[in-house]
Amino acid sequence: MNFSLRSYLKRLRSTILGILIIGILPALLFGTNTQLEQNVWEYSIKNLKYPLFPDVFEKYQYSMTIFFAALLTGLAAALILTFFTTLLPRFLQRIVYGLLTFLESLPDLFIVVVLQFTVIYIYQSTGVLIANISNVYNNPIYLLPILTLAVLPTIQLFKIALLLMKDEQHKPYVTVARAMGLSRFYITIVHVFRNIITSLVQYYKTIFVFMLSNLFIVEYVFNLNGIMNVLLNTKGVAFMVTALMIAIPFSLLFEIAESNTIKVNKQEGEEAA
């Protein structure tokens, strides 16, 4: 099954309709407040007014930079961690898996506080400020929000990749490669990891939705001026525009990835048959 633009547009139509209903529902139920009436192409947060365009584009770019940097950081960290974990003895693998499972159970807010206190401690001990712990307007921060947003996806991807790795190591092609005298390092890097990355793509929707929901928390705790801050604190046109800016590209990405997953599964089924 290849990507179908017609199928995507049908699903997108339902998404847009839902956003429009949510956007106009407060006005239909409670009416408009004429005393607070303002230009529909403006929005206000904390009694400060901003022009919707081009301000919303800058906030969108800022949030997506943090989102995709955290995604790539989490993916790279998970693959590196998976590779080195598979080289450890089994009892150490279980310890690493248990520690990361424990870390996964911690709330996001706890991770944020630990990172902030670590930065403050390093600054007080050495005088070196490795990163700002809160956003100052027109001086956006990146390092701590990216690290915070990447922690939990790293753990989730690591646990999935580790299970996939164990499954791949028992497949016939790995046995054949070992019989041919290829090293474990070469087999893992060239063959096993390529198949693992293909399989990891199938978990894209869970990871993306999870990270988007966490982006709300990260922007709130670090006081970031991102697109989630606009979405959370506005209504009417500003809400609908920001919601569409998130929904349209991500739904397109999901549609393409799902089509690719179905295609890969179909090929694997044909090869197995």
What is the pLDDT, as a whole number, of residue 259? 79
- Give the whole-angstrom CA distance, residue 79 versus residue 103: 18
- pLDDT band of 70, cuts 50, 70, 90: very high
- Under a CB-based contact definition with an 8 Å cutoff, are residues 254 and 204 in contact? yes
- Under a CB-based contact definition with an 8 Å cutoff, are residues 104 and 141 in contact? no
- Give the whole-angstrom CA distance, residue 231 versus residue 246: 10
The encoded tokens of residue 121 equal: 């401690």
**Mean pLDDT within 114-118:** 81
- Give the whole-angstrom CA distance, residue 83 versus residue 272: 27
Q: Give span(s): CATH 1.10.3720, the chain.
A: 54-228
What is the pLDDT, as a whole number, of residue 38? 61
The encoded tokens of residue 25 equal: 């529902």
**Integer angstrom CA distances of residue 11 from 22, 102, 162, 253:** 17, 38, 34, 13
Tell me: pLDDT of 272 over 70: no
**Mean pLDDT within 233-250:** 88
| CB-based burial, 205-224: b 16+ in 10 Å, e otherwise | eebbeebeebbebbbbbbeb
What is the pLDDT, as a whole number, of residue 68? 94
**Mean pLDDT within 65-82:** 91
Kindly report the pTM of this predicted structure: 0.82
More confident position, 218 or 269: 218
Question: Mean of the per-residue pLDDT values for the chain?
Answer: 81
What is the pLDDT, as a whole number, of residue 273? 59
**Integer angstrom CA distances of residue 264 from 159, 187, 199, 258:** 22, 21, 9, 10
- Give the whole-angstrom CA distance, residue 64 versus residue 230: 14
The encoded tokens of residue 159 equal: 């646990």
210-235: per-residue pLDDT in tens? 888 889 888 888 888 889 888 888 88
What architecture is the 54-228 domain classified under in CATH? Orthogonal Bundle (1.10)
